[in-house]
Amino acid sequence: MIDPILLVFILMAAALLSLVGVKARRAGALVTVFGTGFAFIGVLLNILSPFTGPSMFAGYGIVLEVNGFTSLIAFVASFIGFLVAVYSFGYIEKRTGTYNFFTSAAVACLIGMAYCWNLLWIFLFAEICILCSAPLIAHKNDGQALEGAIKYLIIQISTSFFAVVGLAIIYNLVGGGGFTAFNLTTLTTPGVITGYPGKLAILLVFISFAVKLPSFPLHAWLPDASTVAPAPISTLLHAMMIKVAGIPAFLVLFLFNSLFTNVIIWIIVCILGAVTMLYNVMVAFAQNDLKRLLAFDSVSQMGYVILGLGMGGLGASMYSLTSDFYWLSVTGLGLVAGLFHLLNHSLFKSLLFFGAGAVEHETGVRDINQLGGLLQAMPKTGYLMLIGSLSIAGIPFFNGFISKWMIYIVCIAAGRPLLAFVAIFTSALTFAVFLRLLSSVFLGTKPTAFNSVHDAPKSMIGPSVVLAIGCIAFGLIPQIAFIFLLYPATLAIFPAASSFLPWSYIISPLDFSLNLAVLGGLWDPFLLAIILLLGLGIGYIIYRARGGFKEVPSTDKYLPFTGGAIQDPYLKVDEARPTSTVFEHPLRPLLSRLRRLHTGLANMYVLWIVLFAISLLAILFVGTIWFGGWI
């Protein structure tokens, strides 16, 4: 067990030491790798044997608590932070000193925020993280990078106003007391945060952190920032910052769930999740920039997290109204599903951004219409991105399928089948998006300009391999994540879910179906594998019994649908490979309208956020009667 504040101090020390990279690039990079690696080991030790003593500086309100929820978020921050540091070792070649400094500082703030159990310090760590990540976004130091960083700062800092007002109201309700007045243990004591002022304060804090999550319509800053940032920083933005910095939005809603016994807020959250996933996956179709495509799809995947957690909140509110234990099952499944997809998204989205970074690093090109045929030149990158694509699309035997399937089940169990349909339809569109990506980047004939292209260095391939193993492992044996990360995290923020977790912490690897049987779900990857192999075997027997295939001679290379003539002239791959624009053609009328919403103007995006905040507050405080019949 290790005091979490020591992990923060060690990373800040590594940040200062990494400045030697101004003159010695490898020395500074190694310091960052060792610093983030030590932090990751410390987080793992706290998962296995949690730190229970009072943290240093607790008297100043810096309360860092090790529980199931904080350990999960710290695991994501430290694990991805360590892989980013290793990946950057071979990727970043210029201004390495400042890069390593701000990377270590950002990871330190994220780990501090993950463990923090004081609302004010969570906010302060988030703001410091924003200030550290802006120089990383602007690392390339060109016009686009500087514009993206400035836009990021404007949007993030302007929305901090909501949190400042909310924290001020909370401080007034508590009656003062300095930093310790914002300890979550104190604030969640019955009778401390009550009434409409309490609701208003919590909602303002929620809105401020929700911008960082992000969700529709608060997401516009993310694609612009991640497109211009270096690939490892894009990974930080998507896999860590939007989760670790944004997840307090849901933390405050669950911890103060007694203020929101009316289910309207959770219905709004679920609808926002569904709209976020569907809207952004369609926008991803229109993107030709490889990283921008991944960015919009990343926001779409966060819609699944929002939907899952929203369903968990809906179940909790319904349980408080009806005392029906069935809704406890919905709450437990929703929380586990949402947190599991958050964890999975960190894995497969980091893998995909690492792959995109490798492609850009070796070719200097991000436009997928100018790429092609890279599978032979970069086979490792191609197959790793294939694993990431299958995972994010929710294909069975990969981790994305498990969490998405759980979200489908909880939507149906909560009586919202339409939301389940939207989630399933979005998953199909996601598969199409990545079919387009893989086809455009890795298939076809390689342009002559890329004849000298080869796979990325081992320091860039290694982290991707680790992530790919995680995608497969959590797809085949998800109990690893459930037992050590997800169940403890669920119980930390909603202890009543213990009645839904009959599995305790001892589960047979073949007994996953028990977990969701109460809601009608059944999934066993090993059973499915046996069924698939059995089906393939029966098909092969039938195929052999009918004498195999028969050659049909043809001189028309376009006549056969699946491969051209069996004699000259043969159909070339490029003649059968459509351009990437074919994929977006059915959606082009809609996409042309969606483009108008993304003006690129920071003041327009801030206006959306303000309008969203006003609308949300108006609905919750004025419009309860309007929605009463629908609920």
| Dihedral pair phi/psi, residue 165, rounded to 5° | -65, -45
- pLDDT tens for each residue of 592-611: 666 666 666 666 677 767 77
Tokens at residue 173, please? 């309700």
Q: pLDDT over 70 for what percent of the chain?
A: 79
The set of residues, in sequence order, having a beta carbon less than 8 Å from that of 70 and lying 6+ positions away, is 64, 114, 115, 116, 117, 492
Q: 554 or 116: whose pLDDT is higher?
A: 116
Angle formed at CA 81 by CA 77 and CA 82, multiple of 5 degrees = 125
Q: What is the CA radius of gyration of the chain?
A: 25
Which pLDDT does position 135 carry in this prediction?
87
d(CA 23, CA 94): 11
Give the phi and the psi of residue 220 in degrees, each rounded to 5: -65, -25
Structure tokens at 13: 């020390």
Q: In the predicted model, what is the mean pLDDT of the chain?
A: 79
Express as a percent the part of the chain with pLDDT over 90: 15
Interatomic CA distance for residues 99 and 21, integer angstroms: 9
pLDDT tens string 74-87 = 999 899 999 998 98
Give pLDDT tens digits for 185-197: 888 887 778 778 8
pTM, rounded to two decimals: 0.85
Asked if residues 398 and 471 have their Cβ atoms less than 8 Å apart, the reply is: yes
What is the per-residue burial (b if ≥16 Cβ within 10 Å, else e) of 486-521? bbbbbbbbbeebeebbebeeeeeeeebeebbebbeb
* Whole-angstrom distance, CA of residue 193 vs CA of residue 398: 43
For every residue of 256-279, DSSP letters joined together read TGGGG-STHHHHHHHHHHHHHHHH
Return the pLDDT at 218. Answer: 66
C-alpha span between 240 and 352 (Å, rounded): 14
- For residues 129 and 113, the answer to whether their CB atoms sit within 8 Å is yes
Q: pLDDT per residue over 401-435, tens digit each? A: 989 988 998 898 888 999 999 999 999 999 988 98
- d(Cα 243, Cα 213) in Å, to the nearest integer? 6
Q: How many helices (H) and strands (E) does the chain have?
A: 28, 0
Evaluate if residue 586 carries a pLDDT over 70. no
Residue 478 has pLDDT above 50, yes or no: yes
At 606, the amino acid letter reads: V
Task: Enumerate the β-bridge partners of residue 289.
Answer: 367
* pLDDT exceeds cutoff 80 at 571: no
Q: Report the alpha-carbon distance of residue 40 to residue 348 in Å, rounded.
A: 19
Higher-scoring residue by pLDDT: 183, 574:
183
The answer on pLDDT for 508 being more than 50 is no
